[in-house]
Chain A
Amino acid sequence: MGMTMTQKILADHAGLPSVKAGELIKARLDMVLGNDITTPVAVKEFRKIGMDKVFDKEKIAIVPDHFTPNKDIKSAEQVKFIREFAKEMGIVNYFEIGQMGVEHALLPEKGLVVPGDVVIGADSHTCTYGALGAFSTGIGSTDMAAGMATGEAWFKVPEAIKFVLKGKPGKWVSGKDVILHIIGMIGVDGALYKSMEFVGEGVANLSMDDRFAMANMAIEAGGKNGIFEVDEKTLQYVKEHSTKEYRIFKADEDAEYAAIYEIDLACVKPTVAFPHLPSNTRTIDNVGEVKIDQVIIGSCTNGRIEDMRVAAEILKGRKVHPDVRCIIIPATQKIWKQSMSEGLFDIFIDAGAAVSTPTCGPCLGGHMGILAKGERAVATTNRNFVGRMGHPESEVYLASPAIAAASAIAGRIASPEEV
């Protein structure tokens, strides 16, 4: 029986000619990732194993991005703890303030993940790198510790859902809208324990930034990973960012899937996920009158350069509504600098938006834009659970940067066509 893209990568990294869904395997790791929240726990567990060095100091990435720049004393102590560990172990890819970015925007940009890799990260949105045709998945701190020690992780080989994309998305439709549309369709556990494999001629009509946003949110459908077929755009991206050796894995013709969905990108409308689940979606023409207090444009889902550009296109020459705080967070230093040199910050600041240094900050209710009781935010982030951005009685509406920017101007959830 044929294998899916994911199964082929896993078989290769397990040193097996083939694997099948449900099989338990141990796979070799090309990268092990952690952040300032998950790494402290991983370091403590790593110490318990009783090893004095990591398996490969070039294949570990530690990115303090969640509560950084440190929001309080306890956060500062957590970062200090992992900084000291990184130094002691000689970890090459430790990214300090000034070099860091939101981890899942940073690693591809630094060329640390390429097609065919197996990556685990103690952060659920590690699935982002599937955009590059890699197998990458979120795990916990103990798995990170074990990965740092052994260079291996155990996996249950997943079955897959295939999404065959065709057509071209409309003007204000981005990868974010496509993935929200899919999550709305299959539910927050629609891909539980499974791979989400994106293929078809429509993939060519999605930019790399679109693909990163889509793979990023595979976890919001319960997916183990999201993965795109490698094409010319992928290879161009890899060429521009990495010198690492890459390998392309394609699904076999006779691979079996748990389900196959065909999606015409031309039919996807701008989509918003209402509180308190990413699957609670409505198309923009069905949102009604939802007044808002805050807009966040950033995160590992939508803090990339194209996201900044589309926000600027809409905010240019306009003003943020007086009842709205609009906070824009380019995800990495490189994206920050690029936004600055393209003049996007002038547009944001003239519109009355605030620009922040890279951080996950408000996405998880850490800092840099916490909501009070009863407040509502439109965010380009990935989760709208109860209390996610602050008070348990606040609300988060997930949307694309285009919708978020238009909403900032309108003071309510709005389409770019309305402003």
Chain B
Amino acid sequence: MMNAHGKAIKYGDNVDTDVIIPARYLNTSDPEELAKYCMEDIDKDFVNKVCKGDIMVAGKNFGCGSSREHAPIAIKASGISCVIAETFARIFYRNAINIGLPIVECPEAAEDISDGDEVKVDFDSGIITNVTKSKTYKGVPFPRFMQEIMAADGLIGYIRQNKK
């Protein structure tokens, strides 16, 4: 699997899917269109400051609330290469795996990484490196079943493979 490398953009606990992508923009499912409004209600500046490859870092229960897959779709289309959080809300967790947005649960990294830190994530080992602070953290690796889904570029790819 690929790795992620970028600067950290940090948020707090309970970042809900209504602030990730407000419902007023859900009359479309076009990823590029959704990305224009990503994080608008929590951080108006996000779309201007995010660079391709950046890593979102947050606290507990990231992605709580609505089941809208538009949330991980918007994050992925905005250029974010990985989300690191202390914990994820379960529907967001499923959706991220199913659409192939890499996510890592790591309370230590979520706590220690500061906004703007340069961060690398190795998906095979689950090791997160904070280049700025010269530290490493061990994330929770995916179960094999989920790794297979991710390797197939999401659930649809996985089903297609298994259909044949």
A365 to B90, CA, bound (A): 23
User: Can you list 23 A-B contacts with CB-CB less than 8 angstroms, sorted by A residue number?
Assistant: A24-B143, A38-B67, A38-B69, A41-B69, A72-B27, A124-B65, A138-B91, A140-B68, A140-B94, A140-B99, A142-B156, A154-B145, A188-B14, A189-B61, A189-B89, A192-B61, A192-B87, A277-B14, A365-B22, A365-B23, A366-B23, A366-B24, A387-B19
> Which of A142, A189, A387 meets B98, CB within 8 Å?
A142
| A-B interface pairs (CB < 8 A), number | 135
Which residue on B lies nearest to A35, using beta carbons?
B67
Q: How far is the CB of B18 from chain A (nearest CB, A)?
A: 4
Q: Compute how far the CA of A204 lies from the CA of B117 in the bound complex, rounded to whole angstroms.
A: 55
CB neighbours of A126 from chain B (8 A): 67
> Does B65 lie within 8 Å of A45, measured CB to CB?
no
Q: Among A144-152, A160-168, A172-180, A318-326, which stretch is in contact with chain B?
A: A144-152
Q: Which 7 A-B pairs have the closest CB atoms?
A: A140-B95, A74-B27, A142-B98, A140-B69, A189-B61, A387-B41, A124-B67
- Give the shortest distance, in Å, between B163 (CB) and chain A (any CB): 7
B29 at the interface (CB under 8 A from A): yes
Chain A residues whose CB sits within 8 angstroms of the CB of B69 once the complex forms: 38, 41, 122, 140-142
Q: Is B27 touching A143 in the complex (CB atoms < 8 A)?
A: no
- CB distance A222 to B98 under 8 Å? no
Residue A224 at the B interface, CB < 8 A? yes
**Interface residue A246 (Cβ < 8 Å from any Cβ of B):** no
B98 / chain A contacts, CB cutoff of 8 Å:
140, 142-143, 146
Task: For B18, give the chain A residue with the smallest CB separation.
Answer: A385
A48 to B154, alpha carbons, bound, how many Å? 12
- CB neighbours (8 Å) of B89 from chain A are 189, 192, 222
User: What is the CB-to-nearest-CB distance from A138 to chain B, in angstroms, rounded to a whole number?
Assistant: 4
Interface residues on B, range: 35 or more
* Nearest-neighbor residue (CB-CB) of B99 within chain A: A142
Asked if B156 contacts A45 (CB within 8 A), the reply is: yes
Interface check B51, CB cutoff 8 A: no
Give B residues with C-beta under 8 Å from A: 14, 16, 18-19, 22-24, 26-29, 41-42, 60-61, 64-70, 72-73, 87, 89-91, 94-95, 98-99, 143, 145, 154-156, 159-160, 163
* Contact call A222/B41, Cβ cutoff below 8 A: no
Within 8 A of B (CB), among A88-141: 121-124, 126, 138-141
- Does A78 touch B at the CB level, under 8 Å? yes
In the complex where A72-B27, A188-B64 touch, is A386 in contact with B87 (Cβ < 8 A)?
no
Q: When A45-B156, A149-B159 are in contact, do A392 and B64 touch as well, CB less than 8 Å?
A: no
Give complex CA distance A37, B27 in Å. Answer: 7
Minimum CB–CB distance from A42 to chain B (whole Å) comes to: 8
Distance (whole angstroms) from the CB of A74 to the closest CB of chain B: 4
8 Å CB contacts to B: which residues of A303-340?
A: none
A145 contact set on B, CB distance < 8 A: 155-156
User: How far does the alpha carbon of A150 sit from the alpha carbon of B156 in the complex, in Å?
Assistant: 11
- Output the residue of A50, A150, A154 with the most chain B CB within 10 A: A154
**Is the Cβ of B68 less than 8 Å from the Cβ of A38?**
yes
Q: Is the CB of B61 within 8 A of A139?
A: no
Q: Are A143 and B16 in contact (CB under 8 A)?
A: no
Q: Is the C-beta of A358 less than 8 angstroms from some C-beta in chain B?
A: no
Given contacts A41-B29, A188-B64, contact A150 B14 (CB under 8 A): no
State whether the Cβ of A226 lies closer than 8 Å to any Cβ in chain B: no
